[in-house]
Amino acid sequence: MSFSTHIVGVGGYLPERIMSNDELATIVDTSDDWIRERTGITQRHIIDKNQGTSDLATQAAQQALDDAGLTVHDIDAVIVATTTPDMVFPSTASMVQHKLGGKGFPCWDIQAVCSGFVYGLAQADGMMKGGMFKRVLLIGAESMSRIVDWSDRNTCVLFGDGAGAVVLEYKDAEHGILGSVLHCDGSYRDLLMAQHAHPGASPNNDRARLDMNTDAAGVAAVSMKGNEVFRFAVTKLGEVVDEVLGKHDLCKEDLHWLVPHQANIRILNATAKKLKMSTDQISITVAKHANTSAASVPLALNDLYRKGNIQTGQLLLLEAFAGGFAWGANLLRWSK
Ligand code: COA
């Protein structure tokens, strides 16, 4: 045995309100058929106007702590991966610490959009290996409904709100996180972005129409060149899988489970084909919660875990692709 970082608790949370494709079709010129066929999405969850991203994150975190049989007092740091923080500052992670009843230990947010959780897992693992922390609570949480342009059918149909969390523990035990690879190419900024705007500056961001308004200081609207993002994502996700497996002298055939970012069922199917994996080996949750950005990888992990599908020693690959473009993967042997 040797020391490594292990996932010892898993949790997820989706806000109560469900918005169906049919409901969306009353807001923009779209249809249930189009959305299902082009994306695999059937519904998304929408945050309540009285909730913030930190509330979703806290719910997921509490479930992960319960699952680990731990409390916030056993935790040495909280990291929240989010693009949709409650406020510009303080960090969402500090709010989660407070809501969980913790105090004193470090908390911070990281922003790598849909790759935030994968980046966060790499960061936490590195810091734990470096001896800084024994237990870290890592959360991916988003309120994408607050930054989508609800008049743009090209993008608003794709996103939803939610949170997923893991408790990480550095210990002397078999298996655990083997390693991660991360990438970014900032030259692709214009293909997928959300620009800041001042309140009222964006007539397209009429959140009040959806009764989702908050008192947030500013708003932003997602814009995307979907086709180009799609092509780049499929290529890079294939490459990053080869890269991380190669670094650990493993091959595609060794993988038991793929836990990918949930953006579009067609991206997942194309990745499965590239990896010669059966779709049964892929955690697919995009249908029920759409693209929840940084929350989607931990939500997909939570789903797979709660179904009782993951066996000790099995090889899992987590991967994500995001605006930036920023992409990456984590490789681990399940050990909980
Ligand atoms: N409802 C109905 N029609 C729509 C629509 C909607 N919600 N959104 C777009 N369309 C229309 C377009 O206007 C276009 O019409 P046109 O041919 O008359 O111009 C047509 O559907 C096809 O658009 P296209 O962009 O070619 O569709 P697509 O098959 O590429 O699917 C996406 C669009 C966005 C679903 C797809 O490109 C995608 O998933 N891209 C990657 C997104 C992603 O992963 N983003 C996040 C990364 S983290």
What is the structure's pLDDT at 198?
A: 45
Q: Which residues line ligand 1 (CB under 6 A)?
A: 30, 34-35, 38-39, 114, 153-154, 157, 224, 226-227, 229-230, 233, 263-264, 267, 291, 321-322
Parse the chain into domains and list their residue ranges: 1-336
Nearest CA to 59 out of 165, 144, 159, 138 is that of 165
Residue range 41-69, pLDDT digits in tens: 999 999 999 999 999 999 999 999 999 99
Whether a cis peptide bond, with omega within 30° of 0, leads into 199 is no
Indicate the pairing of strand 77-81 with strand 107-110. parallel
What is the structure's pLDDT at 197?
A: 53
Provide the mean pLDDT of the chain.
93
Residue range 207-226, pLDDT digits in tens: 434 444 444 445 678 999 99
CA 35–ligand 1 middle distance (angstroms): 9
CA 233–ligand 1 middle distance (angstroms): 15
Region 296-303 average pLDDT: 98
- Whether 176 and 332 have beta carbons less than 8 Å apart is answered as yes
Crossing angle of helices 32-39 and 265-275, rounded to 10°: 20
- Based on the residue annotation, tell me whether 114 is a catalytic residue of this protein: yes
Query: What count of other Cβ atoms lies within 10 Å of the Cβ of residue 89?
Result: 9
CA 154–ligand 1 middle distance (angstroms): 5
Crossing angle of helices 92-100 and 53-68, rounded to 10°: 50
Given a cut of 90, whether residue 17 has pLDDT beyond it is yes
Residue range 232-260, pLDDT digits in tens: 999 999 999 999 999 999 999 999 999 99
What is the structure's pLDDT at 199?
A: 44
The rounded distance, in Å, linking the Cα atoms of 84 and 53 is 7
Q: Which CATH architecture has domain 1-336?
A: 3-Layer(aba) Sandwich (3.40)
Type and span of the H or E element at 107: strand 107-110
Which of 261, 264, 289, 302 is the catalytic position? 261
Given a cut of 90, whether residue 8 has pLDDT beyond it is yes
* Minimum-distance ligand 1 atom for the alpha carbon of 322: 48
The rounded distance, in Å, linking the Cα atoms of 47 and 41 is 18
Q: How would you class 275 by CB atoms within 10 Å of its CB: exposed for 0-12, middle for 13-18, buried for 19 or more?
A: buried
Given a cut of 50, whether residue 308 has pLDDT beyond it is yes
Query: What count of other Cβ atoms lies within 10 Å of the Cβ of residue 274?
Result: 16
Residue range 126-148, pLDDT digits in tens: 999 999 999 999 999 999 999 99
CA 303–ligand 1 middle distance (angstroms): 27
What is the structure's pLDDT at 274?
A: 86
